[in-house]
Amino acid sequence: MISAKTILAAFVLARLALAMPSGTDTAKRATCTVNSVSSASSLSSCSSVVISSFTVPSGSTLTMNFAEGASVTMSGDVTFASTTSSGPLVTIAGTGITFNGNGHKFDGNGPDYWDGEGTNGGKTKPHPFMKLKASGTLENFTILNTPAQAISMGNDDPVVVSGVTVDNSAGDTNSLGHNTDGFDCSESDVTIQNSVIKNQDDCIAINAGSNIVFQNNQCSGGHGISIGSIASGKTVSGVTISGNTVTNSQNGLRIKVNADATSASVSGVTYSGNTLSGITDYGILVTESYPDSFGTPGTGASISGINFTGSKTTVAVDSSATRVAVNCGSGACSGTWNWGELTVTGGKTSVIKAASATISGGSY
Ligand SMILES: *[C@@H]1O[C@H](CO)[C@@H](O)[C@H](O)[C@H]1NC(C)=O
Ligand SMILES: *[C@@H]1O[C@H](CO)[C@@H](O)[C@H](O)[C@H]1NC(C)=O
């Protein structure tokens, strides 16, 4: 006799067998937890990953290579003990991932390294703190107190970084934090938005790449929003900088090309709807004499298509600052630049050496 119970049990088992994925599917559907450096080493079969709170010990770095399309969330903070390891201390890699930090932190222990010298001397500082080799969407996490540069982009496919806080404001005390760039970008197809960057160097430095959008971010305490410095052979094109707020910073918006750069170019940069105040050096600086802000410009790199259009960009500079400085080498800047939606007030008279470029409109 087969009992009703047995039939029911067989039925349930059959249903379970149908519901359970088989073979590689089982592996792909696994949820994995990262709660140590070693647990991060084999994530290739995890479609879903939870990062919980742990400390990365001295001498170690954290690399997370996520599966294509993985969904990653954080449930706690990851703290990095002081280390003599080289940067990056944390690498996030993976194609088309969705990374949601739920507001949790990566804490770099910056105060243990900060000595006012950044990467120019003093204590060795691992940098960058974080390398983002991921594409997809990364959002809602905080990078706290990085030894030097915070986030370096390294994506191969399009990426959107949203709602990220880089908070190095503790480094303002006694000017100990230095070279703490928020984002360094030498990649294409990058959008960084709705983020907050408090630091002591460039909010973002765009060194190469195309199709780059930096929008609706808040920068404070640093050196402003920068394209460059541009070195020989580097090209930046198709950049949109819009809706950002920059306060209490050395510079507002800069394009800086190395004086000795050759075979390099910056083209197609559009600024729209940015609001800047408390700028101490230059409101707007376009220069080909870097590292000198206004030295003898080089002629081996070209700059074209630099526009202030769309919504008004307003810049209020301090009395010590120059409103606008353009410093192009002979023939090296060209075309018509539409500055119709730019207003700069305060500070000292603008100095414009635009070479072959014609700048139209604007109030500065
Ligand atoms: C970030 O995550 C926290 C925790 O889930 C949430 O309360 C907050 O609203 C999120 N912020 C954004 C901008 O999504
Ligand atoms: C910048 O403005 C000039 C002059 O109006 C225009 O010819 C050019 O296409 C604009 N460039 C971009 C990238 O919008």
Which ligand number lies closest to the CA of residue 102?
A: 1
Q: Which atom of ligand 2 is nearest to the CA of 269?
A: 13
Q: Which atom of ligand 2 is nearest to the CA of 307?
A: 1
3-state secondary structure of 283: strand
Q: Which residues pair with 161 in a beta bridge?
A: 138, 192
Q: Which atom of ligand 2 is nearest to the CA of 338?
A: 2
Q: Is 163 in the pocket of ligand 1 (CB under 6 A)?
A: yes
Q: Which atom of ligand 2 is nearest to the CA of 336?
A: 4
Domains and CATH numbers, the chain: 105-360 (2.160.20.10)
Q: Is 140 in the pocket of ligand 1 (CB under 6 A)?
A: yes
User: For residue 7, what pLDDT is reported?
Assistant: 44
Which two three-digit tokens encode residue 143?
A: 């990078």
Q: Is 287 in the pocket of ligand 1 (CB under 6 A)?
A: no
Ligand 2 centre to CA of 268 (Å) is: 7
User: For residue 25, what pLDDT is reported?
Assistant: 47
Sign for the CA dihedral angle at 104, 106, 108, 109 comes to: positive
Write the CB contacts of 257 (distance below 8 Å, at least 6 apart in sequence).
228, 229, 230, 264, 266, 287, 288, 290, 298, 301, 303
Ligand 1 centre to CA of 289 (Å) is: 43
Q: Which residues pair with 73 in a beta bridge?
A: 50, 100
User: For residue 10, what pLDDT is reported?
Assistant: 45
223 as an active site residue: the answer is yes
pTM of the model: 0.92
User: Which is the catalytic residue, given 104, 127, 178, 223?
Assistant: 223
CA neighbours closer than 13 Å in the CB half-sphere of residue 210? 8
Largest CA distance in the chain: 101
Q: Is 272 in the pocket of ligand 2 (CB under 6 A)?
A: no
Averaged over successive runs of 10 residues, the pLDDT of the chain (364 residues) comes to 46 42 52 97 96 98 98 98 97 98 98 97 97 98 98 98 98 97 98 98 98 98 98 98 98 98 98 98 98 97 98 98 98 98 98 97 98
Name the nearest CA neighbour of 164 among 145, 148, 182, 146. Answer: 182
Q: Is 76 in the pocket of ligand 1 (CB under 6 A)?
A: no
Q: Is 75 in the pocket of ligand 1 (CB under 6 A)?
A: no
User: For residue 319, what pLDDT is reported?
Assistant: 98
Residue 75 CA to residue 53 CA, distance in Å, equals 7
User: For residue 31, what pLDDT is reported?
Assistant: 93
Ligand 2 centre to CA of 218 (Å) is: 26
